[in-house]
Amino acid sequence: MAYTEHPRNSDACRPCHFDFIQELDNSPHNADSKQDDMGLCSCMAKCMSELILIAINCVLALGGALVLWVGIYLRHTGWVEVIQGYWSPIDGIITAIIVIGAVTIGLAVLGSIAALCRWRFGLCVYATVMLLVFIMFVVVAVAAFILRHRAESWEDTTYPASSSEESVKEDFDKVYCYAQGEYICNEASVMDALTMFVPTLDSSITSLFENMTGGVNALCDDYLSDFSALSDVCDGCDQARQFNNFSSLVDWTNERCEPTADVLVWCGAFLASGSTNSSTGEAPYSECRTEFLNLVEKYTLWLGIGSILVCAGALMVFTFACILRGRDRRPQAQAAYGRF
């Protein structure tokens, strides 16, 4: 019996429902649905990109704010003069840190605006600047942790741990006495001022001023002509008032290392003579060494953490901007961000 064999791939063998499925896939309605899905995915990708950049900028702004706070604190409390014994260029570096911290916060705001507005050129410029910021804050972070390590090593060693600590002691003693002198001459009691500047004053004279109000100013105005011994108090306070920029250190000294009578005597002799080689009383650094080194460790840690946050944010911004630039070469991204 003869039969005709049809080719396996011929149209005669293709099921009729295959043609229907193919026609359905090629229908205008299905094509529009695919385009809608692609548009939705593209929109979600853009929104995620914006949110990620804004989150990175928040981290960056946080790090910049932390670094700025540490820089301003060190600048306006007088500690820079002490830390110069650790690291001589610290004065210029603190100024640079304040400027860079403020600029970093501004750049974080700019980056967020550029992400929301899909400003491609702004993002590219922003990424380039962030690369420079990353390099600078790597240096700051390394320096901060070096200072912290040095303070820790000094704390574990008896004084002097090195010749540098002797310079730190001299600067610390000056700053401490400036702050205490300014406080005692303007806010503390007359008895504290007498203890500081004339510790050998006869007790019969001292007892006259136990309940006196008006402070040192009233003492010098009303009693200097009657008691010549009070001239040391008045002269010492005139000297101390020149250093009112160290007044913010008083909170730390009174909270962490309140001056003893011996420390006040030493500071009084220093303010009267200007010499740190006084043999009377006890130098402040001898009493406050541990507290001061703990302070250095604390703020260098915050400075280091802030610098690391800035470095991490800057690196993420740079990396993410490069990824966006690669996507911009695609037609969909070009439509969203435009061309240069």
pLDDT at 321: 67
> 10-residue block means of pLDDT along the chain (340 residues)?
47 45 46 50 63 77 80 72 60 78 82 71 74 83 86 83 80 81 78 80 76 76 75 78 66 80 83 72 84 85 84 78 58 44
* Cα(130)–Cα(59) distance, integer angstroms: 13
Quickly list DSSP for 141-177.
HHHHHHHHHHHHHHHTSPSPSSHHHHHHHHHHHHHHH
* Residue bearing tokens 């040192």: 216
Q: How far is CA 267 from the centre of its chain?
A: 32
Q: What is the CA radius of gyration of the chain?
A: 36
Contact yes or no for 60/108 (Cβ under 8 A): yes
Give the model's pLDDT for residue 121.
72
Tokens 């548009």 label which residue? Answer: 39
The Cα 221–Cα 88 span in angstroms is 43
Whole-angstrom CA distances from 41 to 29, 34, 36, 292, 332 are 19, 11, 9, 57, 11
Burial class (CB in 10 A: 0-12, 13-18, 19+), 3: exposed
Cβ atoms 100, 132 nearer than 8 A? no
Please report the pLDDT score of residue 143 as a whole number: 84
Quote the tokens at residue 261.
């009578």
Q: Is 274 left (phi over 0), alpha (psi -120 to 50) or beta?
A: left
- The secondary structure of residue 3, as a DSSP letter, is -
Q: What is the pLDDT of residue 243?
A: 66
